[in-house]
Amino acid sequence: MTINDLHLRAHTARNAQVIIAVVVSGAAFYWLSGILTPLAIALFLLVMIDSFARVLVKRVPHFPAGAAQPVAIAISIALVCMTVVLVVNNVQSFAGQLSAYGPKLDALIARTSTAMGMANHPTAGQLINQLNPSAYIGVVADHMKNFAGNAVLVLVYLGFLMASRQTFPRKAVKLFGSRDARHEAAEIFQRIRNGVERYLWVQVVCGTMMAIPAWAVMTFMGLDNAAFWAFVIFIIGFIPIVGGAIGVMAPPLFALVQFDSPWPAVGLFAFLNVIGFVIGNIIYPRMQGKSLNIDPIAVLLSLAFWGAIWGLPGMFLSTPLTVATMIILAQFEGARWIAVLLSSDGDPLGSGPVVAAPGDPAPAASASPEPLTQP
């Protein structure tokens, strides 16, 4: 047996081990989803709050560094409260509009049935009764209970993470014996943090570019709850690929019920599709490719993978989780080929030094990685 044959066998065995490790890790993530999902969301929120704090220090003149973290937490709490108020108010508004939507929905069903050549057409009430909503009340109640429990668990995780962040430097000294090893770990961590922050930056910019014009058009047309639908378009845009399609479809469907003529719904559908096409196919891929260095196919596969494992939270976190996975896998020779496939340009770590995230100053080429002082 030649040396080349030995190398080939070793390479094949190493790749097989990597594939088995990926499958086992996926199974572990699935079985421990009740524990790991709130923790992942808490880490994501921690990075978001930390990003707010650094942006305040870097962008606001003479802003005290000691006040950045409390102000960032206050901003995050205010955003959550605004979201809850907006959702609650619009749920009440929807409930009050159901009596008006009922006859219009019956008329829409009648027109559609006539156009399809159906002599008898059901009413909205009959369709609802056929769906037997009472059978789903228990399922919905369980989901709401799980959501409330997970929200509390996320807050608990977040509080403990923020309380324990001061001990990270001492732990890093114990984990990594040499200064070079600590610097390498800090660089890996900074790349992951910057990747998540760039993802947030890209999503916020593209979501705002989609939501504001949509809100303006829906308000001009007189669509009910225009602010709520704009908020839905913004939030659901954090789900790659699928979120944009849902955001484009939902408001025109309600416009079809609200207005007597179908043309407002058709016009709104066309406008949202044009805006979605420009942002989703031109602006977003450019920003994502330059900022995150993730292949579009990898984004689609990660959406399916994390959605199957963690459900809706996994869909929201699929891209940042893939960014972190790509950077970590690139550190190991046996798994680096997976990181190369996940990357957009074939260089998962980049050829240059660590690039600053939005809100950070551009580092010098010879600058050493910052210490492990911020999670």
Q: What does the pLDDT look like over 234-286, one tens digit per residue?
A: 888 888 777 777 888 888 888 887 887 788 888 999 999 898 888 877 787 77
- Region 166-171: mean pLDDT is 75
- Of 342-346, 352-356, 368-372, give the range with the top mean pLDDT: 342-346
**pTM to 2 decimals?**
0.71
Sign of CA dihedral 283, 284, 287, 293: negative
pLDDT at site 121: 64
Is 4 part of a structural domain of the chain?
no
Range of the domain at 244: 14-342
* Model confidence band, residue 356 (pLDDT cutoffs 50, 70, 90): very low
pLDDT at site 270: 92
Rounded to an integer, what distance in angstroms lies between the CA atom of residue 20 and that of residue 321? 19
Among 168-177, 218-227, 304-313, which is the least confidently predicted range?
A: 168-177
pLDDT at site 227: 86
* Model confidence band, residue 201 (pLDDT cutoffs 50, 70, 90): confident
Angle at 324 (CA atoms; ends 318, 325), nearest 5 degrees: 85
Is 369 part of a structural domain of the chain?
no
pLDDT at site 215: 92
Question: Between 112 and 232, whose confidence is greater?
Answer: 232
Is 25 part of a structural domain of the chain?
yes
- Region 116-126: mean pLDDT is 62
pLDDT at site 216: 92
Q: What is the mean pLDDT of the chain?
A: 76
pLDDT at site 109: 64
Rounded to an integer, what distance in angstroms lies between the CA atom of residue 305 and that of residue 315? 9
Question: Between 131 and 312, whose confidence is greater?
Answer: 312
* Model confidence band, residue 352 (pLDDT cutoffs 50, 70, 90): very low
Is 177 part of a structural domain of the chain?
yes
Is 53 part of a structural domain of the chain?
yes
- Closest by Cα among 356, 361, 362, 359 to 187: 356
Domain count, the chain: 1
In the chain, the percentage of residues whose pLDDT exceeds 70 is 73
Among 106-110, 316-320, 325-329, which is the least confidently predicted range?
A: 106-110
Is 2 part of a structural domain of the chain?
no
Is 354 part of a structural domain of the chain?
no
Residue 6 pLDDT greater than 70, yes or no:
no
- Region 143-166: mean pLDDT is 76
> What digits encode the pLDDT tens for the residues 26-71?
888 889 888 888 888 888 888 888 888 888 888 888 888 788 888 8
Tokens in use for 66?
């000691």
Residue 129 pLDDT greater than 60, yes or no:
no
pLDDT at site 326: 87
Residue 90 pLDDT greater than 80, yes or no:
no
Tokens in use for 244?
């944009």
Residue 350 pLDDT greater than 50, yes or no:
yes
Among 16-20, 82-86, 91-95, 323-327, which is the least confidently predicted range?
A: 91-95
Is 1 part of a structural domain of the chain?
no
Residue 354 pLDDT greater than 60, yes or no:
no
Residue 135 pLDDT greater than 60, yes or no:
no
